[in-house]
Amino acid sequence: MDIDSFREILSGFIDLGTDPLAIVMVAIGGMLIYLGIAKGFEPLLLLPIGMGIVLVNLHPPLMEGAFEGRPEGMLAWIYSYGIKNAIIPLLIFLGVGAMADFTPLLTRPVYFLFGAAAQIGVFIIFLVAIAVGFDIKEAGCIGIIGGSDGPPTVYMTAILAPQLLGPITLAAYAYMALVPFIQPPIIRLLTTKRERAIYMKYEEREVSKRAIVAFPVLSFVIAAVLIPASAPLIGMLMFGNLLNVSDVTHRLARSASTVLIDVLTVLLGLCVGALMSSEVFLRPQTLVIVGLAALAFAFSTAGGLLMAKFVNLFRKEPINPIIGAAGVSAVPMASRVAQKVGQEENPANFLLMHAMGPNMAGAIATAVAAGIFLEMLS
């Protein structure tokens, strides 16, 4: 082997050595991969995102032409025709709908209030982001992270602030993965031991088949009429759910909730990671976004929880306020946290199915909040 061939083989390492920040980004990508594999933190997302970060910082041509409208690299094609046009996030929401079960929400409509209240972090951080110097479109995209729902965050950011897609999406999915660490301290701070120990007996309430089938149809019609910009998100979510509950499209529902969403998650994760080159990610603006996202998530958790405590003022049979924290749309992680924290205080308590009601309400509410921002800011 001659010296020129040897240099060509090592060219990637030579280029990496000339850019210390790229080395930092490769380390960050490696850390995300480690957290996904060793710690189990949202591996379906963190592994593709981490690998995308490593790939683009070792081989930038993968994203060549992505921002000039003339994609040449493989990941640039995915970004230009799947992310930038918001196709992949919408199709992922279709898969989410195919997996969704709205029955716990339909049996106790009061849970809609918890999902709505959990959007308070979205609007608080929207105002804070404007105050610290982001323009109004960027502020809206940062605020929507508080809803803790990936597809609406990516969809909205791709339309309003594509230049922030990488850090915003990473922050959104990272905090979803860290729900088991972020929510318990907030729950304990805002509730008493007695409140956390409230026993909730789960009784399977009958919901008619007509109601289950009519819900996704009516939800889409109402959203499309009142908030037209939310129609794509709500439409995909509810269409996926209709495939699941209609009992005549089992194959389509199964494909949407497995193969389709798995393929799209891989493409989304790789592409989002590829947006995080060193010159884009390692700057003060990104760190501010990460900090604001944490605050948005904390406010949203508190909003759902405090709404549950407020509702208890008017009920003879109190609701365990822990399930209000599941009003953030981090499905099903937030419901699992409610189950874990509730059982720590009362081993007889099983809050998982109760928490799924506010959890699914949060998914709908976040899509509506994204639609409101799109109506206001587009």
Q: Dihedral sign for Cα 305, 307, 311, 312, please.
A: positive
What type of residue sits at position 358? P
User: How many Cβ atoms sit within 10 Å of the Cβ of residue 93?
Assistant: 30
What pLDDT is stored for residue 15 in this prediction? 55
Q: Are residues 25 and 57 in contact, defined by beta-carbon separation less than 8 angstroms?
A: yes
- What separation in angstroms does the CA of 281 have from each of 41, 97, 274? 21, 32, 11
Q: Are residues 213 and 207 in contact, defined by beta-carbon separation less than 8 angstroms?
A: no
Structure tokens at 317: 């049979």
User: What's the CA angle centered on 91, arms 28 and 295, to 5 degrees?
Assistant: 45
- What separation in angstroms does the CA of 238 have from each of 112, 264, 372? 16, 18, 18
What pLDDT is stored for residue 6 in this prediction? 47
Residues ≥6 apart with Cβ < 8 Å to 269:
44, 45, 46, 47, 48, 49, 51, 52
For residue 346, which of 211, 194, 134 has the smallest C-alpha distance?
194
CA torsion, ordered 180, 182, 183, 186, to nearest 10 deg: 150
Measured distance CA(372)–CA(21) in Å, rounded: 38
60: left (phi over 0), alpha (psi -120 to 50) or beta: alpha
Annotate 229-289 with DSSP letters as a single string. Answer: GGHHHHHHHHHHHHHHHSSS-HHHHHHIIIIIHHHHHHHHHHHHHHT--HHHHSSHHHHHH
User: How many Cβ atoms sit within 10 Å of the Cβ of residue 51?
Assistant: 20
Structure tokens at 248: 């005549």
Per-residue pLDDT of the chain (378 residues; tens, 9 = 90+): 555 554 544 454 445 556 788 888 999 999 989 988 998 877 888 899 899 999 999 888 888 888 777 888 899 999 888 888 889 999 999 999 999 999 989 989 999 999 999 999 999 999 999 999 999 999 999 999 988 888 899 899 989 998 888 788 878 877 777 788 889 999 999 999 999 999 988 766 778 999 999 999 999 999 999 999 999 999 999 999 999 999 999 999 999 999 999 999 999 889 888 888 887 777 888 889 989 999 999 999 999 999 999 999 999 889 999 999 999 987 878 888 999 999 999 998 889 889 999 999 999 999 999 999 999 998
What pLDDT is stored for residue 18 in this prediction? 60
Measured distance CA(127)–CA(139) in Å, rounded: 7
What pLDDT is stored for residue 40 in this prediction? 81
Please identify which residue in the block is written with the tokens 């899509």: 367
Largest CA distance in the chain: 84
Measured distance CA(270)–CA(75) in Å, rounded: 8
Structure tokens at 299: 């406010």
- φ, ψ at 133 (rounded to 5°): 115, 0
Measured distance CA(126)–CA(108) in Å, rounded: 30
Measured distance CA(327)–CA(321) in Å, rounded: 11
What pLDDT is stored for residue 9 in this prediction? 46
Measured distance CA(134)–CA(151) in Å, rounded: 22
